[in-house]
Amino acid sequence: MYYNSNNDSHSQEPWDRPIETTGRSLDNEYVPDEPGHSGKKKGRGGKTVALCLVCALVGGLVGGVGATAATGGLSGGTTTIYEGERAPTVVNVAQVNGKTLLTGPEIYASFVGSTVGITTEVVTTNSWGQPVSAAAAGSGFVITNDGYILTNYHVIDGAQSIKVAFVDGTTYDAVLVGGEEENDIAVLKIDATGLTPVIIGDSDNIKVGEQVVAIGNPLGELTYSMTQGIISAKDRSITMQNGEVMNMLQTDTAINSGNSGGPLFDMYGQVIGITSAKLSSSSSTSEATIEGLGFAIPINDIKDMVQDIIAHGYVTGKAYMGITVTTVPESDAQRYGMSQGALVKSVDESSCAAKAGLQKGDIITAIDGTTVLSSAELVEAKKEYKAGDTATLEVDRSGEKLTLTLTFDEDTPERRAAQEAAQEEEAQQEQQQSQQGSSDFFWPFGGLSPWFY
């Protein structure tokens, strides 16, 4: 449960109901001072900032399939995620109550034992068909006393093995409980009890100019380092290296390779963000020259997702269309006489998109009246919906303007894996057709990667 020492004076809100899991319970007693998010996400002001961002991860990882539940064989018991007051290592319990400001040394002494280093092994195939092993390193932090750990999805993406290390030298093999690629979070599980979890804070309450500290493993070698800075801005819509658009906290706290997945604390000793990326003048972390521009995922944006992942292995209720799309740039739209928007590369025949009448080659130009000029804009618009919601799509089909009504499916790991397999098979077929000099589908944007929806 999220724990708050003041919860006796508040009533339970709808999002605070217990979530039952097999062999364990996850009681949520966290009651925020102000109502949190409910239903569809509220729109965020300002324009999306397209920046060259590099994930703060040591080593190179390749794309993997969607994360799925993998908790078999681990110890059961009661899973509790705490928020509010707890007994720290150095600071008196009365001080860690969300109301007493702490010093940097106090925060470090209290929570360095809750921060972990994560190393992964990824096996890929080189151009000669030979298996090649690569390693990557990142950070994470303990969120329950029985071994659940939160980190970034890109830290464990494609990993064949995951190891977790604590500041006292103790190491564990970890399994992936589940992940959420679009929001760059993943939950790991180690077979351990009696751990000291962090305290989950309220990122909505943090103000620009307030001091924050990060603990992590920069470069994968300078383990358990703490850096300090301020919140530079909130609600930054940032285009990540993989093309995903995310809401971020901006900070001048030093974030470097290996910091990915680590905690960002306010000066009350509460985690208000997950350090994820930094601005770079290069796509390589080793050549990053711009300093003072780091980004963290607001903890409020992913609290409910973490509960879902622990309970089900994935985030439930997410909208799924069953298509792959890519952007039709304005220049190419003018050149080929096409509409600008999200061009459909493939359609899952069993999906809601197929039932609505979407076809390969259609260009989605709007959803419920909101203009869609790119794949990124479509994925952002889709985040406002849940499984079962209905939306109206405006589509250009070879110059004919159509209006289609779609009821979203639920995005499950099984659906995503099946679509990825189908897309890979289609890509192989297109490659064969290209080599044979024929194709049944005109595709002028060969270098652009499709997006799954």
- The arrangement of secondary structure in 319-452, i.e. its CATH architecture, is Roll (2.30)
Catalytic, 184? Answer yes
Domain definitions of the chain by residue range: 7-28+42-312, 319-452
Q: What is the pLDDT of residue 409?
A: 95
d(CA 119, CA 133): 13
CB atoms within 10 A of CB 442: 7
d(CA 204, CA 226): 23
* More confident call, 418 vs 18: 418
Q: Of the residues 184, 202, 304, 396, which is catalytic?
A: 184
d(CA 157, CA 61): 7
User: pLDDT tens digits for 370-425?
Assistant: 999 998 899 889 989 999 999 999 999 999 999 999 999 999 888 878 777 776 77
Average pLDDT over residues 164-175: 96
Answer CATH for 7-28+42-312 from 3.40.50.1370, 1.20.120.520, 2.40.10.120, 3.40.50.800: 2.40.10.120
Instruction: Reply yes or no on whether the pLDDT at 131 is more than 60.
Output: yes
Strand, helix or coil for residue 337: coil
* More confident call, 186 vs 427: 186
User: pLDDT tens digits for 70-107?
Assistant: 333 334 456 666 666 555 444 443 356 677 899 999 99
Catalytic, 260? Answer yes
Instruction: Reply yes or no on whether the pLDDT at 120 is more than 90.
Output: yes
38 falls in which pLDDT band (50, 70, 90)?
Answer: very low
CB 36 within 8 A of CB 301: no
Percent of the chain clearing pLDDT 70 (strictly above): 70
Least confident of 68-82, 166-180, 184-198: 68-82
Average pLDDT over residues 329-351: 91
Q: Of the residues 139, 146, 154, 411, which is catalytic?
A: 154
Instruction: Reply yes or no on whether the pLDDT at 311 is more than 90.
Output: yes
SS3 sequence of 263-329: EEEECCCCEEEEEEEEECCCCCHHHCCCCCCEEEEEHHHHHHHHHHHHHHCCCCCEEECCEEEEEEC
User: pLDDT tens digits for 429-442?
Assistant: 767 776 666 544 44
d(CA 10, CA 31): 7
Rg of the Cα atoms in the chain: 22
d(CA 406, CA 387): 11
What average pLDDT does the chain have? 78
Q: Of the residues 232, 260, 280, 351, which is catalytic?
A: 260
